[in-house]
């Protein structure tokens, strides 16, 4: 059974078609990069999967359940686009923000147990933000904030992690660390990852599948198929496609 299955999805905004005839399956443990031009429907697709909007037609299944009857939303971690706060006095510390990621797993009363405390510390450690756990979130740099929001998204040990352009505010060095952390979650913990990104070259080293949108599904398949696809050479340009595939090839040749 696929972990996510999208069938004949169509989404309209104010009568205007934004997504049409979208069908694909994502398997447990996949790392999928979702890419396409601005306005091609990437965020809309993510929102539809998260049941945040009502499609005109089609179905989405998560773990085999229609998303309208799926209830375990805490099993999905979500990092929305532009999750950066500019108010330096926003009244929450790093640790508090990360703790909030556990609320979806609880029924009332929502208290933090010793086990929760352990999960929170592990998430802080994984993202390298233990030292700043008592700082106010608004005091941090964009890169540090992104790590806090990622810790918030992973603290409940989600099976699926969905990230919408998470690295736009990051400088290249931190971006690299961020991708390495995501890769660890995927390879070591088996988390299924859906990542919206323009950075196909960088993510292509880690992702096993690529989904290219342009209102319709232009391409969905393995990276190997992408590298051989003439259609994708038209979209990316042959040189760009070769460059992406060359780096990926080199990465996969590296000894562990
Ligand atoms: P992407 O993430 O690929 O940039 P989006 O899914 O954000 O694309 O948007 C797809 C299209 O839908 C764009 O033309 C955008 O302007 C439009 N759009 C997005 N959100 C809304 C909305 N809430 N209401 C109306 N139009 C929207």
Q: Name the residue with the closest Cα to ligand 1, atom 24.
A: 13
From the CA of 179, how far away is ligand 1's center (Å)? 26
Least trusted range by pLDDT, from 13-27, 53-67, 172-186: 172-186
Q: How far is the CA of 203 from the centre of ligand 1 (A)?
A: 23
Query: What DSSP designation does 93 have?
Result: B
| pTM for this prediction | 0.89
Q: Which of 2-6, 22-26, 39-43, 136-140 has the least mean pLDDT? A: 136-140
Q: Give the residue with greater pLDDT, 69 vs 10.
A: 10
Residue 141 contacts residue 100 (beta carbons within 8 Å): no
**C-alpha 44 – ligand 1 centre gap (Å):** 6
Q: What is the pLDDT of residue 25?
A: 98
> In this model, does residue 145 exceed pLDDT 80?
yes
Nearest-CA neighbor of 68 among 46, 45, 44, 52?
Answer: 52
Atom 16, ligand 1: residue with shortest CA distance: 39
pLDDT of residue 254: 53
41: CA distance to ligand 1 center in Å?
6
Domain boundaries, the chain: 4-252
pLDDT at 22 over 90: yes
- Protein residue with its CA nearest to atom 27 in ligand 1: 13
- Among 2-16, 19-33, 37-51, 220-234, the minimum mean pLDDT is found in 220-234
Note the CATH number of domain 4-252: 3.40.50.300
Q: Pocket residues for ligand 1 (CB within 6 Å)?
A: 13-14, 18, 36, 38-44
- For ligand 1, the distance from its centroid to the CA atom of residue 245, given in whole angstroms, is 30
Residue 240 has pLDDT above 90, yes or no: no
CA-closest residue to ligand 1 atom 23? 13
Mutate to test the pocket of ligand 1, among 10, 12, 13 (most ligand atoms within 8 A of CB): 13
Q: What's the pLDDT score for residue 252?
A: 66
Tens digits of per-residue pLDDT, 172-197? 777 787 888 889 899 998 999 999 98
Q: Could you give the angle at which helices 142-154 and 114-126 cross, rounded to 10 degrees?
A: 140
Distance CA 113, CA 136 (A): 23
Report pLDDT for 212.
Answer: 94
Reading the block at residue 77, the tokens are: 């971690």
Which is the closest atom of ligand 1 to the Cα of 45? 6
Nearest CA to ligand 1 atom 1: 39
Residue 162 · residue 194 · CB < 8 Å = yes
């Amino acid at each position: 059974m696929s972990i996510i299955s999208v069938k004949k999805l169509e989404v309209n905004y104010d009568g205007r078609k934004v997504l049409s005839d979208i069908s694909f399956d994502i398997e447990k443990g996949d790392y999928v990069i979702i890419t396409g031009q601005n306005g091609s429907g990437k965020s809309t697709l993510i929102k539809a999967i998260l049941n945040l909007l009502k499609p005109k037609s089609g179905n989405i299944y998560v773990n085999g359940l229609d998303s309208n009857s799926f209830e375990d939303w805490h099993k999905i971690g979500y990092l929305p686009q532009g999750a950066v706060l500019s108010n330096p006095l926003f009244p929450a510390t790093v640790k508090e923000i990360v703790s909030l990621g556990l609320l979806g797993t609880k029924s009332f009363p929502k208290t933090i147990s010793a086990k929760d405390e352990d999960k929170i510390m592990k998430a802080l450690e994984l993202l390298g933000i233990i030292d700043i756990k008592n700082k106010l979130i608004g005091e941090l740099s964009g890169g540090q904030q992104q790590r806090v929001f990622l810790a918030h998204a992973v603290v409940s040990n989600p099976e699926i992690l969905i990230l919408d352009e998470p690295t736009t505010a990051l400088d290249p060095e931190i971006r690299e660390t961020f991708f390495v952390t995501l890769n660890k979650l995927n390879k070591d913990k088996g988390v299924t990852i859906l990542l919206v990104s323009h950075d196909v070259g960088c993510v292509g080293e880690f992702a096993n599948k690529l989904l290219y949108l342009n209102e319709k599904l232009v391409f969905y398949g393995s990276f190997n198929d992408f590298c051989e696809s003439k259609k994708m050479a038209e979209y990316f340009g042959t040189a760009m496609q070769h460059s992406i595939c060359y780096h990926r090839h080199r990465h996969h040749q590296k000894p562990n």
